[in-house]
Amino acid sequence: MSLISLFGGKSGQPTNTPAQPAEKKPHILVIGNEKGGSGKTTTSMHIMVALMRLGFKLGSMDIDARQRSLSRYLENRRTTMTKEDISLPMSHHVIITKSPFNVQQEAESDEQDRFLQGLDRLKMCDFILVDSPGNDTYLSRLAHSYADTIITPINDSFVDLDVLATIDGNTMQIVRPSIYSEMVWEQKLARAKRDGGSIEWIVMRNRLSNLDARNKRQMKKLTEDLSRRIGFKVAAGFSERVIYREMFLQGLTVLDVIDMSESKSISLSHVAAKQEVRELLKTLRIPEVDRRINEIRSKDTPAAAPAQEPVAADAPIQAAHP
Ligand X SMILES: Nc1ncnc2c1ncn2[C@@H]1O[C@H](COP(=O)(O)OP(=O)(O)O)[C@@H](O)[C@H]1O
The minimum distance between CB 40 and Mg ion, in angstroms, equals 5
Phi and psi at residue 234, to the nearest 5°: -100, 125
Question: Which residues in 129-188 contact ligand X (CB under 6 A)?
Answer: 134
* Largest CA-CA distance found in the chain, in angstroms, rounded: 60
Residue 241 partner contact from ligand X, Mg ion, none using kind-dependent CB cut-offs of 5 to 8 Å? ligand X
Residue from 110, 162, 240, 279 in contact with ligand X (CB under 6 A): 240
Residue among 240, 40, 277 nearest 156 (CA): 240
Residues 68 to 127 in contact with ligand X, rule: CB under 6 A:
69
Secondary structure (DSSP) of 128-144: EEEE--SS--HHHHHHH
For ligand X, the closer of residues 174 and 183 by Cβ is 183
Check binding of 36 to ligand X (CB under 6 A).
yes
| 39 part of the interface to ligand X, by CB under 6 A | yes
Name the pairing type of β-strands 127-131 and 58-62. Answer: parallel
Instruction: Label residue 175 exposed, middle or buried (CB < 10 Å: 0-12, 13-18, 19+).
Output: exposed
List the one residue from 56, 146, 180, 238 that touches ligand X (CB under 6 A).
238
Which one, 29 or 190, has the nearer CB to ligand X?
Answer: 29
Contact present, 88 and 80 (Cβ < 8 Å): yes
Q: Which does 267 bind (CB under 5 to 8 A by kind): Mg ion, ligand X, none?
A: none
Query: Any residues with CB less than 8 A from the CB of 62 and at least 6 apart, and which?
Result: 68, 69, 70, 71, 93, 94, 95, 96, 131
Residues 244-273 within binding reach of ligand X (CB under 6 A): 244-245
| Smallest distance from ligand X to CB 243, Å | 8
* Minimum distance from residue 195 beta carbon to ligand X (Å): 28
Least Å distance, CB 73 to Mg ion, is 9
- Interface residues with ligand X (CB under 6 A) are 36-42, 69, 134, 206-207, 238, 240-241, 244-245
